[in-house]
Amino acid sequence: MDFLYAPWRIRYIESPKKEEGCIFCKAASEPDGRYVLHNDGVSFVIMNIFPYNPGHLMVAPIRHVGSFSELTNEEILSIGNMVKKSMDVLKKTMNPEGFNIGVNIGLAAGAGIRDHIHVHIVPRWCGDTNFMPVTGDTKVLSEALDELYKKLKNNW
Protein backbone atom coordinates (compact mmCIF):
# COMPACT_ATOMS: atom_id res chain seq x y z
CA MET A 1 0.00 0.00 0.00
CA ASP A 2 1.31 3.50 -0.85
CA PHE A 3 1.34 6.47 1.52
CA LEU A 4 0.57 9.98 0.37
CA TYR A 5 2.58 11.58 3.17
CA ALA A 6 4.93 9.59 5.38
CA PRO A 7 8.06 11.64 6.20
CA TRP A 8 9.03 9.32 9.06
CA ARG A 9 9.69 6.50 6.57
CA ILE A 10 12.99 8.09 5.51
CA ARG A 11 14.64 6.49 8.57
CA TYR A 12 13.44 3.08 7.35
CA ILE A 13 14.50 3.78 3.77
CA GLU A 14 17.99 4.88 4.78
CA SER A 15 18.54 2.28 7.51
CA PRO A 16 20.16 -1.14 7.03
CA LYS A 17 17.51 -3.50 5.67
CA LYS A 18 17.96 -6.31 8.17
CA GLU A 19 18.27 -5.43 11.86
CA GLU A 20 19.58 -8.32 13.90
CA GLY A 21 17.46 -9.62 16.75
CA CYS A 22 13.90 -9.09 17.87
CA ILE A 23 12.43 -5.60 17.43
CA PHE A 24 10.37 -5.97 20.61
CA CYS A 25 13.34 -7.10 22.72
CA LYS A 26 15.38 -4.17 21.40
CA ALA A 27 12.57 -1.71 22.11
CA ALA A 28 12.21 -3.02 25.67
CA SER A 29 15.95 -2.79 26.39
CA GLU A 30 16.79 0.29 24.25
CA PRO A 31 13.60 2.39 24.15
CA ASP A 32 15.13 5.68 22.97
CA GLY A 33 13.98 6.53 19.47
CA ARG A 34 11.72 3.47 19.22
CA TYR A 35 8.39 5.12 20.13
CA VAL A 36 7.97 3.27 23.43
CA LEU A 37 5.16 4.97 25.37
CA HIS A 38 5.37 3.05 28.65
CA ASN A 39 7.19 0.13 30.27
CA ASP A 40 5.97 -1.29 33.59
CA GLY A 41 8.81 -3.78 33.95
CA VAL A 42 6.69 -6.72 32.75
CA SER A 43 5.25 -5.45 29.45
CA PHE A 44 5.45 -2.30 27.37
CA VAL A 45 3.51 -0.22 24.84
CA ILE A 46 5.06 0.83 21.54
CA MET A 47 3.73 2.70 18.53
CA ASN A 48 3.56 0.76 15.29
CA ILE A 49 5.81 2.69 12.90
CA PHE A 50 3.96 1.22 9.91
CA PRO A 51 0.42 1.67 11.26
CA TYR A 52 -2.87 0.40 9.89
CA ASN A 53 -4.41 3.62 11.24
CA PRO A 54 -3.02 6.66 13.07
CA GLY A 55 -2.41 5.75 16.72
CA HIS A 56 -1.88 2.02 16.06
CA LEU A 57 -0.18 0.72 19.22
CA MET A 58 1.23 -2.65 20.24
CA VAL A 59 1.61 -4.15 23.71
CA ALA A 60 4.22 -6.86 24.25
CA PRO A 61 5.73 -8.68 27.20
CA ILE A 62 9.33 -7.77 27.92
CA ARG A 63 10.20 -11.45 28.02
CA HIS A 64 10.78 -12.94 24.58
CA VAL A 65 7.91 -15.41 24.22
CA GLY A 66 6.00 -16.43 21.10
CA SER A 67 2.87 -18.09 22.41
CA PHE A 68 -0.02 -16.82 24.49
CA SER A 69 -0.02 -20.10 26.41
CA GLU A 70 3.55 -19.43 27.54
CA LEU A 71 2.67 -16.13 29.22
CA THR A 72 2.70 -16.02 33.01
CA ASN A 73 -0.32 -14.75 34.93
CA GLU A 74 1.68 -11.61 35.77
CA GLU A 75 2.36 -10.99 32.08
CA ILE A 76 -1.29 -11.56 31.14
CA LEU A 77 -2.42 -9.08 33.80
CA SER A 78 0.21 -6.51 32.80
CA ILE A 79 -0.65 -6.79 29.09
CA GLY A 80 -4.37 -6.48 29.88
CA ASN A 81 -3.75 -3.36 31.98
CA MET A 82 -1.55 -1.89 29.24
CA VAL A 83 -4.24 -2.50 26.61
CA LYS A 84 -6.84 -0.78 28.83
CA LYS A 85 -4.55 2.19 29.55
CA SER A 86 -3.63 2.45 25.85
CA MET A 87 -7.30 2.68 24.92
CA ASP A 88 -7.85 5.37 27.58
CA VAL A 89 -4.89 7.41 26.28
CA LEU A 90 -5.99 7.02 22.66
CA LYS A 91 -9.53 8.13 23.57
CA LYS A 92 -8.19 11.20 25.36
CA THR A 93 -5.69 12.05 22.62
CA MET A 94 -7.47 11.12 19.39
CA ASN A 95 -11.13 10.51 20.26
CA PRO A 96 -11.61 7.34 18.18
CA GLU A 97 -15.11 5.95 17.71
CA GLY A 98 -13.99 2.34 18.18
CA PHE A 99 -11.04 -0.04 18.38
CA ASN A 100 -9.78 -3.24 16.80
CA ILE A 101 -7.76 -5.24 19.32
CA GLY A 102 -6.13 -8.49 18.33
CA VAL A 103 -3.28 -10.94 18.51
CA ASN A 104 -1.99 -12.67 15.39
CA ILE A 105 -0.49 -15.99 16.43
CA GLY A 106 1.36 -17.92 13.73
CA LEU A 107 2.05 -17.34 10.06
CA ALA A 108 -1.42 -18.50 8.97
CA ALA A 109 -2.99 -15.87 11.24
CA GLY A 110 -0.93 -13.09 9.68
CA ALA A 111 1.72 -12.67 12.37
CA GLY A 112 4.53 -10.58 10.93
CA ILE A 113 6.67 -11.19 14.00
CA ARG A 114 5.95 -14.73 15.10
CA ASP A 115 8.42 -15.27 17.91
CA HIS A 116 7.46 -12.38 20.25
CA ILE A 117 3.74 -12.21 21.01
CA HIS A 118 2.13 -8.76 20.91
CA VAL A 119 -1.34 -7.25 21.00
CA HIS A 120 -2.42 -4.74 18.35
CA ILE A 121 -4.61 -1.79 19.37
CA VAL A 122 -5.95 0.01 16.31
CA PRO A 123 -8.15 3.08 16.82
CA ARG A 124 -11.03 3.33 14.35
CA TRP A 125 -13.31 6.11 13.11
CA CYS A 126 -16.50 5.84 11.10
CA GLY A 127 -15.45 6.33 7.50
CA ASP A 128 -11.74 5.68 8.08
CA THR A 129 -11.90 3.15 5.28
CA ASN A 130 -12.90 5.25 2.31
CA PHE A 131 -12.28 5.21 -1.42
CA MET A 132 -8.49 5.74 -1.13
CA PRO A 133 -7.56 2.22 0.08
CA VAL A 134 -10.25 0.62 -2.06
CA THR A 135 -9.60 2.32 -5.41
CA GLY A 136 -6.09 3.73 -5.04
CA ASP A 137 -4.44 1.13 -2.78
CA THR A 138 -3.34 4.13 -0.69
CA LYS A 139 -3.77 4.76 3.03
CA VAL A 140 -3.76 8.38 4.20
CA LEU A 141 -2.14 9.06 7.57
CA SER A 142 -2.84 12.60 8.67
CA GLU A 143 -0.23 13.09 11.38
CA ALA A 144 3.52 12.45 11.62
CA LEU A 145 4.60 9.75 14.08
CA ASP A 146 6.86 12.11 16.06
CA GLU A 147 4.05 14.58 16.70
CA LEU A 148 1.55 11.89 17.64
CA TYR A 149 4.13 10.21 19.91
CA LYS A 150 4.58 13.46 21.84
CA LYS A 151 0.81 13.84 22.30
CA LEU A 152 0.32 10.23 23.41
CA LYS A 153 3.34 10.38 25.75
CA ASN A 154 2.03 13.60 27.33
CA ASN A 155 -1.35 11.97 27.96
CA TRP A 156 0.10 8.75 29.41
pLDDT of residue 17: 53
* Interacting residues of 47 by C-beta distance below 8 A, sequence separation 6+: 35, 37, 55, 56, 57, 58, 145, 148, 149, 152
What was the pLDDT predicted at 90? Answer: 98
pLDDT the model gives residue 135: 40
Q: Which helix (H) or strand (E) holds 60?
A: strand 57-61
What CATH number does residue 51 fall under?
Answer: 3.30.428.10
Annotated catalytic residue 118: yes
Domain that holds residue 32: 2-155
Question: What is the pLDDT tens value at each position of the chain, 156 positions in all?
Answer: 555 455 555 565 566 656 678 999 999 999 899 999 999 999 999 999 888 889 999 999 999 999 899 999 999 999 999 999 999 999 999 999 999 999 988 888 877 888 999 999 999 998 776 444 444 444 555 678 889 999 999 999
Catalytic residue among 56, 64, 116, 118: 118
Position 134 scores a pLDDT of 44
Domain count, the chain: 1
Q: How far is the C-alpha of 112 from the C-alpha of 51, rounded, in Å? A: 13
| Alpha helical stretches, state H, the chain | 9-14, 23-29, 73-94, 131-135, 145-155
d(CA 110, CA 112): 6
Element (H, E) at 38: strand 36-39
Cα separation, 75 vs 10, in Å, equals 34
Distance in angstroms (rounded) separating the CA atoms of residues 67 and 65: 6
Amino acid 64: pLDDT: 96
Return the SS3 of 156. Answer: coil
Q: Which pLDDT score, from 0 to 100, does residue 109 have?
A: 80
Tell me the C-alpha distance between 28 and 24, whole Å.
6
**Beta carbons of 96 and 123 less than 8 angstroms apart:** yes
